[in-house]
Amino acid sequence: MRGLQLSLNQTQKIRYERALEKLNSLSSKLNSNASVTVADSIPVNHEDGVLKGHGTSELNGEVVATVCGVVERVNKLVYVRTLRARYKPEIGDVLVGRVVEVSQNRWRLEINFSQDAILMLSSVNMPDGIQRRRTAVDELNMRSLFEEDDVVCAEVRNFQNDGSLQLQARSQKYGKLEKGQLLTIPAYLVKRSNQHFHYLEQYGIDLIVGCNGFIWVGEHVDSRDNMVVDQVNNPEEQITESKGKFGSQDQTHTPLETRQNICRIANAVRILSTLGFNVTLEVIMDTVNLSISLNIDVHDMLGSEFYVLVTEREADRRSSKRKR
């Protein structure tokens, strides 16, 4: 839990410290047997042929931890999962990135990793929605798809021999993101799940939680995947639907209510990141609903009082979940 860089009065400090103590007691009960720090001994049975994984080493015949974290065991493999670590890409991860360079047949994207990722021209859907080979004309028109500073959603495809990361955006749910905010949080606060795309229907907002710590909050865009047969039978309809992601001509004004909803959800993410809580859809919506129920204005959400309220709410939520 990271300390707040906010000015709290005496009452707020007491409430905040009590909520932290409650959270720490819950986490210590949950991980008391598995948590280790540097140089802690990890109990293992050497007769079973233990395999030492990441975060472990052997010292004087004992397996000790070289990092702080939680001990994980997979069959004979023993390793330490660090609680705070840099983003480590895996194939299939949903990412949100920003285009930093347009070069021959490819775009380079910043993805909060040690190096930029590569998105090949052959790995994206064309605006016409038809699957075909890319031509020299397509290469000349690459900036009509993505240009520098554009925000793009993609998926990890594979790793090259030189260690570079290749992405793909071969689905209508991937592509250029517009009319929203891009937030950057520590990647360890985002846990991999089966669903990283969320449509908040009551607010008309699309929420994309990237595994790399880049989170997109923007106006909802209708998109769906059609079969190749549908693309052939209804080419005009397919072209119309594909405009939403790839630089559509529909530049309508975003309603004030939608912009306020974007800012409210984005502020909820900022608060959770500052407090060091895991950023999930459940916690985000709980924070948003708390601000609405208390009639807190969007601008006042970043005040010290609401930070304390969110901490107290999270402590109560974890406590009730544990009692179940």
Q: Which domain holds residue 60?
A: 33-83
Indicate whether 79 belongs to any domain: yes
Token couple for 301: 């959400």
Which has the higher per-residue pLDDT, 270 or 23?
270
Indicate whether 75 belongs to any domain: yes
CATH classification of the domain holding 56: 2.40.50.100
Quick one: which of 168, 151, 171 has its CA closest to 159?
168
Alpha-carbon separation of residue 135 from 123, 126, 139, 228 (angstroms): 13, 11, 7, 20
pLDDT per residue as tens digits for the range 39-80: 888 888 777 778 888 889 888 888 888 988 888 888 888 888
pLDDT of residue 1: 46
Indicate whether 281 belongs to any domain: no
Indicate whether 293 belongs to any domain: no
Q: Tell me: pLDDT of 8 over 80.
A: yes
Indicate whether 190 belongs to any domain: no
pLDDT per residue as tens digits for the range 215-272: 999 999 886 443 333 333 444 443 334 344 444 444 578 899 999 999 999 999 999 9
78, 98 Cβ separation under 8 angstroms: no
How many separate domains does the chain show?
1
Indicate whether 41 belongs to any domain: yes
- Bridge partners (DSSP) listed for residue 110: 98
pLDDT per residue as tens digits for the range 179-225: 999 999 999 899 888 899 999 999 999 999 999 999 999 999 886 44
CB-facing half-sphere around the CA of 181: CA atoms within 13 A = 18
pLDDT of residue 242: 39
Backbone angles phi, psi at 280, to 5 degrees: -125, 165
Indicate whether 261 belongs to any domain: no
Indicate whether 132 belongs to any domain: no
* Distance in angstroms (rounded) separating the CA atoms of residues 239 and 40: 60
pLDDT of residue 163: 74
* Distance in angstroms (rounded) separating the CA atoms of residues 190 and 213: 6
Range 114-132 burial, b when 16+ CB lie within 10 A, else e = eebbbbebebbbebebeee
Which has the higher per-residue pLDDT, 212 or 32?
212
